[in-house]
Amino acid sequence: MIAITFALPAESSDFVRRVGDRRSRRRESLTTIEGKVGNHEIEIMHTGVGEKICHARLPAFLQEARPQLLISAGFAGAVGNDLAAGDLILSRNFSDQRLLTTSKGLLEGRPAHVVKLFTTKAVVDSSAAREEIARSSGAAAVDMETEIIAVECAARGIPLISLRAISDTPAQPLPAPPDILFDVQRQRTNFPGLIAHIMLHPSALGRLGRFAGQVSRARQRLADALITLLQGELS
């Protein structure tokens, strides 16, 4: 079985709709989605956003499910101007090198940039913060879960491939303050805060619309890439 992790259903929904023989499975306090793509049995698990909840959910899932390999999928934010919203990236620093080479070949028709990915403890939004991460780490993109996933997989000898789609960039940033768009502690959008923000900043409504389009393209391209990998000889 191949495990595929996403932070949230908002990242996985396009892919989930394309999974065959789809069914829910209850694993202790966590509900996952099982199914089939190509010749592969798969199981989709949502880690939640950020280190704390990922640490709480992932170890028990890996211990029980024991996947033959894991795909860490979802969105990432670019820290420089070399990537655009919707671009696919493969993480060279977190991925198993054999799987990285195989995945790059399978995705030749829908190119994926092989870059360094940096995992942060908080949502990164400002240009200054992005520039500092690029300068200090040499990374091209950031997320909030992959390093935790990589450590847990390494401890169990599970090969990992990290595949992400870019949702935002310095030129195409988040449309509202990060703590309003998503409250990490509560694991949901702060809707009262978002409504208040739009009332104070009406132009944010247009930015939200453009961002929704970016996310939709990223989600579709990510789903297409996952289907391509799973229909190939990934394992």
Q: The domain spanning residue 46 has which CATH number?
A: 3.40.50.1580
pLDDT tens across 152-210, in order? 999 999 999 999 999 988 988 776 777 777 666 666 777 777 788 688 878 777 777 78
Q: Kindly state whether residue 84 falls inside one of the protein's structural domains.
A: yes
Question: What is this structure's pTM?
Answer: 0.91
Residue range of the domain that includes 15: 2-174+218-231
Q: Kindly state whether residue 153 falls inside one of the protein's structural domains.
A: yes
Q: Kindly state whether residue 182 falls inside one of the protein's structural domains.
A: no
pLDDT tens across 12-21, in order? 999 999 999 9
Q: Kindly state whether residue 110 falls inside one of the protein's structural domains.
A: yes
Q: Kindly state whether residue 49 falls inside one of the protein's structural domains.
A: yes
Question: Which range is most confident: 79-83, 113-117, 134-138, 210-214?
Answer: 113-117
Q: Mean pLDDT of all residues in the chain?
A: 89
10 Å Cβ neighbour count for 108? 9
The residues, any chain, with a CB within 8 Å of residue 160's CB and separated by 6 or more, are 69, 70, 71, 72, 94, 95, 96, 99, 149, 150, 153, 154
Q: Kindly state whether residue 206 falls inside one of the protein's structural domains.
A: no
User: What is the count of structural domains for the chain?
Assistant: 1
Q: Kindly state whether residue 59 falls inside one of the protein's structural domains.
A: yes
